[in-house]
Structure 1
Amino acid sequence: MSSKTLWQEMLLGSSTWSHVLKRGTALRITAGGDHANVGALLLNADNFSERLNLPDTLKAQHIARLTTGAVLYSDMARILCSITDDTLGWHDPLGGCSDAATVAAKYGALDYQAARNDWHQNALDGFLIELAKYGLGPRDLMMNINFFSKVEVKDDGSMAFIEGHAKAGTSVELRAEMNTLVILNTCQHPMDPDPAYRQVPVELAIKRVPAPAADDICRNFRAENARGFTLTERYFL
């Protein structure tokens, strides 16, 4: 553990995790095996009514994938987190998350009583359980990010899941621009065609980081981001 690292832990596959990532810290997520997928929800930890808005995130930056330089906008045009480092190059903001029906149809129904920790969980129920810990519920759900997964949009508008995209050791780092409630889920991507129910762990590390400077890669990634950083910094005056 480096001198700047505050916390490290391993998050098992098919598990859910949450933490209020403080402004001035960053979360690094590292794939613990091939085929990792990490669904993520983000909310303003000081005002839960403000949360991740993926349509605005993509539209404002003219992108359909997430990688280094991209920022994650809230529905109030402020920046919750920035992607300051990414060894993979493509993370999916389009594919959504699995639910009980899709998991049962693809992998079969297998409950905890029968299989213990190998039971077939789904991302939607995991998100709802974690949201409930903060007094939140179904009305607080939003479109989620899928880190480590790649979904391409074809010319006809259809979407294609790219198999074998993430390898063990690939990582992505999120810098908190606000005090951000980060909720993660490690269930498989809902579009993953693999018939095997995989449980791929990821390593989480939280560290202190400096404030974004004038030449920050995320601030200058797109023209709109400068405005987003200004609104976010004014929020903390």
Structure 2
Amino acid sequence: MEAKEIFNERVSSGVPFYRVVKKGQTIRIVDLEGCQAVDTLFYNANDHEERYSASDTVREQGSIFITTGTKLLSNDDNVMLEVVADTCGNHDTLGGHCSAESNTVRFGHDKKYMHSCRDNYLLAIGELEMHPRDLTNNINFFMNVPVEEDGHLAIVDGISKGGDYVEMKAYMDVLVLISNCPQLNNPCNGFNPTPIQIIIKEA
């Protein structure tokens, strides 16, 4: 029997989004037009001190990329979510999120005050009465960050197509915090931020 859809919302380009996904529910992130980067953080909804850990996830999975079957671990080594479906097949764990500081270093001082994922996160955590120290390494869904022969990471054109999605099942009540990346200075979203769709289904 098809799981009951309990939430379905279009998230505009370049803005933050947050929502609690209950244990057993699934959340699907849909890249509506393709080549968009969706910077995402996860927290234990009942204890924000427990949050997604990139290092623990990479260690346990033996891969720096995320796809179907990947278990997303917390800093307490608990499984937070599992990727149960993925039509893109390559999601970044190492690239981090853009900020005023990184825009300045990478693209010049005139880009410092362009909107960034860190700005989005700060807006959201302010509403959630969280603290900037709660920000940590995020997942970049749909972002293409290959490792070059010299070991450096590259941010290149995305490989996702319009309608591609990643779906995760929650193993605990999870606060999902998203910045639908507003970056205009690198090809992570084709220099053209676009909307995404968030769909949550009941257990």
TM-score w.r.t. the length of structure 2 is 0.89
SS of match in other structure, 1:9? strand
**Residues 95 and 190, structure 1, Cα contact 8 Å, conserved in 2:** no
Per the alignment, residue 154 of structure 1 pairs with: 148
Q: Percent identity?
A: 30
- 1:177 matches 2:171: yes
RMSD: 2.4
- 1:126 matches 2:120: yes
Matches of 1:6 and 1:198, distance apart in 2: 30
Matches of 2:169 and 2:130, distance apart in 1: 24
Q: Deviations over 1:157-184 (max 9, x none)?
A: 1112231411111000011111001000
Q: Give unpaired runs (5+ residues) of structure 1.
A: 112-119, 210-237
Residue 194 of structure 1 and its aligned partner are, at CA, apart by: 7.4
- 1:91 matches 2:91: yes
**Residues 83 and 173, structure 1, Cα contact 8 Å, conserved in 2:** yes
Q: Give unpaired runs (5+ residues) of structure 2.
A: none
Matches of 1:195 and 1:182, distance apart in 2: 21
**Larger Cα Rg: Structure 1 or Structure 2?**
1
Residues 70, 93 of structure 1: alpha-carbon distance in 2 compared, 3 angstrom cutoff: same
Per the alignment, residue 79 of structure 2 pairs with: 79
Matches of 2:74 and 2:112, distance apart in 1: 36
- 1:60 matches 2:54: no
How is 1:82-231 mapped onto 2 (pairs within 5 angstroms)?
Answer: 82-103=82-103, 105=107, 120-188=114-182, 192-193=186-187, 197-209=191-203
Q: Deviations over 1:89-126 (max 9, x none)?
A: 00011101111244464695598xxxxxxxx4210011
Matches of 1:162 and 1:196, distance apart in 2: 9
SS of match in other structure, 2:65? coil
Per the alignment, residue 217 of structure 1 pairs with: none
Paired residue type of 1:6: I
Matches of 2:109 and 2:186, distance apart in 1: 11
SS of match in other structure, 2:133? helix
Residue 12 of structure 1 and its aligned partner are, at CA, apart by: 0.6
**Residues 52 and 75, structure 1, Cα contact 8 Å, conserved in 2:** yes
Residue range with higher mean Cα deviation, 41-50 or 124-133: 124-133
TM-score w.r.t. the length of structure 1 is 0.77
SS of match in other structure, 2:36? coil
Which contiguous aligned blocks of 4+ residues in structure 1 show a shift greater than 6 angstroms? none
Per the alignment, residue 11 of structure 1 pairs with: 11
Residues 196, 174 of structure 1: alpha-carbon distance in 2 compared, 3 angstrom cutoff: closer
Matches of 1:180 and 1:157, distance apart in 2: 34
Paired residue type of 1:33: E
